[in-house]
Amino acid sequence: MIDPFPPAFLFFIGAILLLLLPKGSPRALVGIIVPIIAAMMVWDLPTGVGGEVQLAGLTLEMMRVDKLSTIFGLVFCLAAFLGNLYAWHVKDTVQQVAALAYAGSAIGAVFAGDLIILFIYWEGTAIASVFLIWARRTEGAFYTGMRYLIIQIGSGVILLAGVVLLYRETGSIAFEKMELGTLATWLIFLSFGMKCAFPLLHNWLQDSYPAATVTGTVILSAFTTKLAVYALARGFPGTELLIYIGAVMTVFPVFLAEIENDLRRVLAYSLNNQLGFMVVGVGIGTEMSLNGTASHAFAHILYKALLFMSVGAVLFRTGTSKASELGGLYRTMPLTAIFCLVGAASISAFPLFSGFVTKSLILDASAENHYTIVWAMLVFASAGVLSHSGIKIPFFTFFAHDSGKRPAEAPSHMLWAMGITAALCILVGVFPEPLYALLPYEVDYHAYTTYHVVGQLQLLLFALLAFVFLMRTGIHPPEVRAVNLDTDVIYRRFLPMLIIKISNIVSGLWAFGTWFTKGKADRLVRTLHRSHGPEGRMASVWPTGAMVLWIAIILTATLLVNFIT
């Protein structure tokens, strides 16, 4: 048994400290120091379960430490450090506090030993993160934040419902492997899927991340979805349904990202695509595939943050992230362009970059377990990633047509954050063994074989050739200002229109029914009034004595019936 101090609490203490510090003080230091100390705490955590709390007759486990939770805890601390370093210039207390509370909630959820503690932190990530969207302080950001909050809080409510039903069925709230088959486990699975942006549940991601502040988007990209991947890896490893869900996740964003003009939305679609690889790894459920999921989540947090940082730096300097309004920025932002290329190479899984040594674990696991069609979908998605993130992002931002913009290079703290992240992407790609040592299971895998290197280079070079061909022939979708429709058009446009039409029809039927019924009732009342009213025929014919006689007859009949029964 262990009783360590939860690293998540350190982030909450830091958030409170930020509220107490006077304006003008070096608040940004808190956001830098806290993740460093927390990472050292996570590194030294002994394996086991501890931090038990008694609540309503239940034993809650604040901390459950093993290799799976440790690697996610470490990369979350690293992401918090890099994100806060990138946001050094931000003086907004709301964003600073939200960033620390958000990271702390995600880390707390990773180390949660039971489903109740997981739920508490699960909702904490939702509440803290929405302020990074609202911090933009525009009307659009407010409504986007409300939609985001509804989805995230809804995910927590569904999770709580599943936990309650699971406790009723099994008497346990342990956060461990579950099997789909009961309403409880299906609800928990749905909750995880909402946060992981499963197909048809994904629109909140592309809607909200680009709506956040420049720095808020970087921080958002690191925690919510990877926490969901961790939860799936902890709760549903080997669930075959996840293989097919993940395969679809890798493919459909490719097409939407290709036609998108807003580069931060392109990266949001790309994020969804990369999550698909991790979900496939969880679904396969072997030691190799789960190692692939954990390592790819680690690498993805870094290179996706790097890409969001580079595009965010361009947005910070130019005021736009639209591909149609950018181009030629390498002239005045050369370092940002280089860092963006490192991120592009990493996400495209070029050899010597981080994506190559992590994604290949999942691809090989799918091939070894004879998921041939899934493997082919993953290969196609890998080529698509090169097109929309590896080429489109840096090309249209820095090297395409000259936009005439000559912005200054990114601020020094942004360059430091991007430089450290880029260095880590390269180090992980060149020396994967330290990362492999952190993985949940022992790794007996060598990424740099002739087969892997040559096969990946062939795929990437043919994808590059296809991009050049599409650009030269004019087939590639042009970068134009437009609103691209996704599946959310169903519930944001078509469904409201359908509801309005149905309500109009129902209202018309109700009005007609009311008019018809009222007319019939009025006619009946007039008929009765003519026959039974004060001047009616019945009133003049029937004397009072006759009415008394009928009352006596009815009363007698009633008494007889009561006596007989």
Q: Which of 296-300, 438-442, 512-516 comes out lowest in average pLDDT? A: 512-516
What is the total count of domains within the chain? 3
Query: What is the 8-class DSSP label of residue 439?
Result: S
327 phi-psi bin (left φ>0, alpha ψ -120 to 50, beta other) = left
Cα torsion angle, 24, 28, 31, 34, sign: negative
* 297 & 196 share domain: no
Q: How many CB atoms lie within 10 A of CB 427?
A: 14
Residue span of the structural domain in which 24 resides: 1-236
For range 44-54, the mean pLDDT:
83
Q: Does 560 map to a domain?
A: yes
* 189 & 275 share domain: no
Q: Does 457 map to a domain?
A: no
Q: 502-531 as b/e, with b when 16 or more CB fall inside 10 Å?
A: eeeeeeeeeeeeeeeeeeeeeeeeeeeeee
Is the pLDDT at 125 greater than 90? The verdict is yes
Higher pLDDT, 402 or 192: 192
Is the pLDDT at 335 greater than 90? The verdict is yes
Report the pLDDT value the prediction gives residue 1, as an integer from 0 to 100: 44
* 221 & 300 share domain: no
Q: How far apart are CA 550 and CA 519, in angstroms?
A: 33
CA–chain centroid gap for 231, Å, is 13
Q: For residue 124, with 0-12 CB atoms within 10 Å meaning exposed, 13-18 middle and 19 or more buried, which class applies?
A: buried
Q: Which of 389, 411, 445 is the last residue of a domain?
A: 445
* 497 & 530 share domain: yes
What does pLDDT average to over the chain? 88
Q: Which of 236, 268, 302 is the last residue of a domain?
A: 236
* 510 & 550 share domain: yes
For range 2-23, the mean pLDDT:
86
Q: Does 157 map to a domain?
A: yes
Q: In this structure, are residues 188 and 116 in contact, taking their beta carbons and an 8 Å threshold? A: no
pLDDT digits 0-9 by tens, 152-190: 999 999 999 999 999 999 988 889 999 998 999 999 999
Q: How far apart are CA 505 and CA 238, in angstroms?
A: 48
Q: Does 281 map to a domain?
A: yes
Report the pLDDT value the prediction gives residue 485, as an integer from 0 to 100: 66
* 365 & 423 share domain: yes
pLDDT digits 0-9 by tens, 295-310: 999 999 999 999 999 9
Is the pLDDT at 55 greater than 90? The verdict is no
* 354 & 377 share domain: yes
Q: Does 530 map to a domain?
A: yes
Q: Does 510 map to a domain?
A: yes
pLDDT digits 0-9 by tens, 352-388: 999 999 999 999 999 999 899 999 999 999 888 888 7
* 306 & 206 share domain: no
Q: Does 463 map to a domain?
A: no
Is the pLDDT at 27 greater than 90? The verdict is no
Confidence of residue 463 (pLDDT cuts 50, 70, 90): confident
* 227 & 244 share domain: no
Confidence of residue 537 (pLDDT cuts 50, 70, 90): low
Q: Does 499 map to a domain?
A: yes
Is the pLDDT at 488 greater than 80? The verdict is no
* 229 & 253 share domain: no
* 298 & 401 share domain: yes
pLDDT digits 0-9 by tens, 208-257: 999 999 999 999 999 999 999 999 999 999 999 999 999 999 998 888 88
Q: Which of 183, 202, 236 is the last residue of a domain?
A: 236
* 329 & 439 share domain: yes
